[in-house]
Structure 1
């Protein structure tokens, strides 16, 4: 049985050029470089259009070069990919979206002996018919690996794994002394990062330093705070190597997702696993059951309580704070590629066991 991965990547040196998510691409590459798949195919987000540098495994329709027809490209690409997938294969998808839903339907109708499995990285609850259809499809896959627990995900043949760690990773620098340095990175939208709250909080805590990387949705607001506050530093959108340098220069990684937003109950921030793998201390506004047994600090999402929580954290004894640092070995053991391979095999063999 061939195992096939349908994902949405470009070569690593082209990720920023085509404005893809570095975290999303790294997630896929961790699985691919773990030799979990016999074949890999990439369908790109709809905002990628026009001529593109070709690369291995790319499925790319000429419709993307037409300003009127580019929205039809995923349909043509799904149809092309349908003919490439042999019967009795096991297909794993990176999310269920407009980029692959037509392929899922085609295979269900015309190649029902193909096992279709889904990695559920995130989902935004919505009343829109198309989004509800994607969730309906997701819950009718042969099996799923989900990054978060949500009652919306009902596939029985499923396991929750919040992230994936490569099998062979280099030893990362450990924290030996605690500094009051914090990093927020990635998508900086308010529902994902609560950046306005962070900026206001750190503007009133000049003894703590906030580093920011990523694309800010409100540059006017960000510039106002960075110009007025020496302890708030914006690095912009940086290459991955530069991001790691900044990460290693800070003690705490902030994950300040808004717990009131329903989509934040249906996903898991990849930055958390990455930070833990790099021995940083994680500070989160959301409690994650899937991290049971791993130490991280929980804080409130309200401005005043958030400030109080951070002040309390930075006043903790250093020996106590170091319990939350240097957990790379634990994370590697729980979420490395070998664990994912074992669970994929269990999910693919589910019907044979019942």
Structure 2
């Protein structure tokens, strides 16, 4: 008998994501997964920094139920405590024998996890581990969250890390949505490159990328995202005609830009703990949309797919981009147009089957 399946996540209607400073990557992942219609109920909670009056549209979206306590409107102190009341509200609503899937485990849902584990033991608890930063020394909350993740009935992880319990665990690096829309194929190679998403140094190596492409005038570099050094970005854009800083774009405009470029960059430094237990959503997204990937990390979880790996030091990165530029269009096109393969490997039906297997 199929369990009543619940999804806990952190989403808002698409047009409100930027207004309330939610993660586009997290919302896109959640909506992609939800497009498979695998959940009987979806709950959404807000990060601690979200407070005040919430748009009425956030409560009218039929795809999910937003749990938003009135303490969110009662000043900074109560705003931070509101998450605990919200978790208690959800605890009361979750029926016995349900299967709950958590998008990550953190301050927003750890109390709910523990209450369900101890007080409703018939509820099956599962975690989708997307962005986990290990604590290499000292003590941190993530050590507690790691214990809870491994206390869960099952896990789906984006990366194969020794930190996570192997029993009843699967590795899937991402999910692509069910969609009847066609995705444009690359017919000819243009020297157009995109760096997008979180633009902090540990996630994008932004300063290295800007410096290298300022010396590669034959390439057009487009950049869009958040948390980058905007002053530096604007200075490079002003001084180099091949570098274009777009700021943060609405999703539909971003997709138009993605379809305009040939190469998607994923420039992460494996030495940063933020990059050890996750997988860049931009890689799956760009592959799904038939773009060519240039990555600074080799990822075994997409073994068999064609993508370029370049070294993450400035000189080696520069030489790697130069080497790619020297390839013929025929050679480069072998790395493009893999969207159908991505859909077969990481589509919602694959995820539905994975969740069902873990629940068994």
Q: What range describes the TM-score normalised by the shorter chain of this pair?
A: over 0.9
Check if 1:146 corresponds to 2:162: no
Identify the match of residue 86 of structure 2 among 56, 59, 77.
77
Instruction: Measure, in 1, the Cα distance between the counterparts of 2:79 and 2:348.
Output: 36
Determine if contact 2:206/2:228 at 8 Å carries over to the other structure.
no
In 1, Cα distance between equivalents of 2:164 and 2:74: 37
Checking the alignment, whether the CA contact within 8 Å between 2:35 and 2:348 is kept in structure 1 is no
Aligned-partner Cα distance in 2 for 1:50–1:214: 25
**Contact 1:6–1:41 (CA<8 Å) still a contact in 2?**
yes
**Post-superposition shift, 1:169?**
3.8
For 1:297-329, what per-residue CA distance to the aligned partner results, in whole angstroms no more than 9, with x for missing partners? Answer: 001100010000000001111111111000011
1:240 paired residue number: 251
What SS class does the counterpart of residue 48 from structure 1 fall into?
coil
Aligned counterparts of 1:125 and 1:155: Cα–Cα separation in 2: 17
Aligned residues: 349
Deviation sequence 1:224-268 (CA, Å, 0-9, x none): 211111111001100011101111111000000111112212001
Counterpart CA distance in 2 for 1:136 and 1:113 is: 20
Alignment of 1:225 with 2:236, yes or no, is yes
Structure 2 partner of 1:94: 103
**Structure 2 Cα separation of the partners of residues 96 and 199 of structure 1:** 34
CA distance, structure 2, for counterparts of residue 193 and residue 317 of structure 1 = 27
SS across alignment from 1:236: coil
Listed as ranges, the gaps of 5+ residues in structure 2 are none
Structure 1: gaps spanning 5 or more residues: 350-354
State how far apart, in whole Å, the 2-side matches of 1:141 and 1:155 are: 12
Distance 1:128 1:195 in 2: 30
In the alignment, is the contact (CA less than 8 A) between 1:117 and 1:143 conserved in 2? yes
Q: 1:117 aligns with which of 106, 126, 133?
A: 126
Q: 1:345 corresponds to which residue?
A: 356
CA distance in 2: counterparts of 1:17 and 1:155, whole angstroms: 39
Contact preservation (8 Å) 1:253, 1:283: yes
Contact 1:141 1:155 in 2 (8 A): no
Structure 1 residue ranges, 4+ long, deviating more than 3 angstroms after superposition: none
Superposed CA RMSD in Å reads 1.0
Partner residue in 1 for 2:48: 46
Counterpart residue number, 1:352: none
Structure 1 residue 154 displacement after superposition: 1.7
- Distance in 1 between the 2:223 and 2:49 partners? 25
Q: How does 1:60-71 map to 2 (within 5 A)?
A: 60-67=68-75, 68-71=77-80
